[in-house]
């Protein structure tokens, strides 16, 4: 399975996917790393591992639709089967999402549907929940509203700060994301409307 990772920043989830793809018998290959930020650590990580990195400059396009259409062309040209968003800080147009329906997934640092959008870890702390976590979900037209594929739970401690909680969640993200991508590559993920069955027995 050919995977593209879209990332704007630090790229630690990208790194987890790179590491997983480099393991013997990995069922997927990272065929493109695409960023909207020229100097992103994500592109540097791709380069370090000999992966094809692409910078698409939003300033070169008059609107979101034009940017997304260039992105779609690149993804089609690379024969990508699965698009993984990993800290990609742009909202994708509905045309783009429709074009790659059920082939775009995202990782989010909360147990969706709680705390969608920005600063999910701060939202969880401010709300006072005792458990949060991370979610990998299919991307639909809403913000973090697509069908949930899998989640991992993280406890919140009384002395947690946004930083301490974020780093504990991030560790779980790095386990979850490669696991889901491998599951999809092995045909273990079945979609039935909003419900996703992840046949983990076979993973």
- Residues making contact with ligand GRF (CB under 6 A): 7, 9-13, 86-87, 107-109, 170, 173
Report, in Å, the least distance between residue 139 CB and ligand GRF: 11
Smaller CB separation from ligand GRF, 64 or 152: 152
> Least distance to ligand GRF from the beta carbon of 10, Å?
4
Please choose, from the candidates 107, 184, 201, 191, the residue with its C-alpha nearest in 3D space to the C-alpha of residue 152. Answer: 107
Helices 162-185 and 120-127, packing angle to 10 deg: 120
Nearer to ligand GRF, 108 or 182 (CB): 108
Distance of CA 21 to the CA centre of its chain: 15
Interior CA angle at 67 toward 89 and 69, to 5°?
120
- Which residues are designated catalytic? 108
Smallest gap from Cβ 190 to ligand GRF, in A, equals 24
Q: Nearest-CB residue to ligand GRF?
A: 87
Report how many helices (DSSP H) and strands (DSSP E) the chain contains, helices first.
Answer: 6, 9
Question: For ligand GRF, which is the closer residue by CB, 76 or 132?
Answer: 132
For residues 137 and 108, the answer to whether their CB atoms sit within 8 Å is yes
């Amino acid at each position: 399975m050919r995977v593209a990772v879209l990332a704007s920043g630090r790229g630690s989830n990208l790194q987890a996917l790179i590491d997983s793809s480099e393991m013997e018998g990995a069922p997927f290959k990272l065929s493109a790393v695409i960023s909207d930020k020229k100097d992103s650590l994500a592109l540097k990580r791709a380069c370090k591992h000999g992966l094809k990195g692409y910078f698409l400059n939003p300033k070169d396009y008059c609107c979101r639709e034009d940017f997304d259409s260039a992105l779609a062309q690149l993804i089609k040209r690379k024969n990508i089967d699965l698009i993984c968003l990993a800290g990609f800080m742009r909202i994708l147009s509905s045309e783009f999402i429709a074009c790659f329906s059920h082939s775009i997934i995202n990782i989010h640092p909360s147990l969706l549907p709680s705390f969608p959008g920005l600063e999910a870890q701060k939202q969880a702390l401010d709300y006072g929940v005792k458990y949060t976590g991370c979610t990998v979900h299919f991307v639909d037209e809403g913000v973090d509203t697509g069908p949930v594929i899998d989640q991992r739970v993280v406890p919140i401690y009384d002395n947690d700060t946004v930083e301490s909680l974020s780093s504990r969640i991030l560790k779980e993200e790095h386990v979850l994301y490669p696991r889901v991508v491998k599951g999809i590559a092995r045909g273990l993920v079945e979609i039935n409307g909003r419900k996703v069955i992840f046949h983990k027995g076979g993973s």
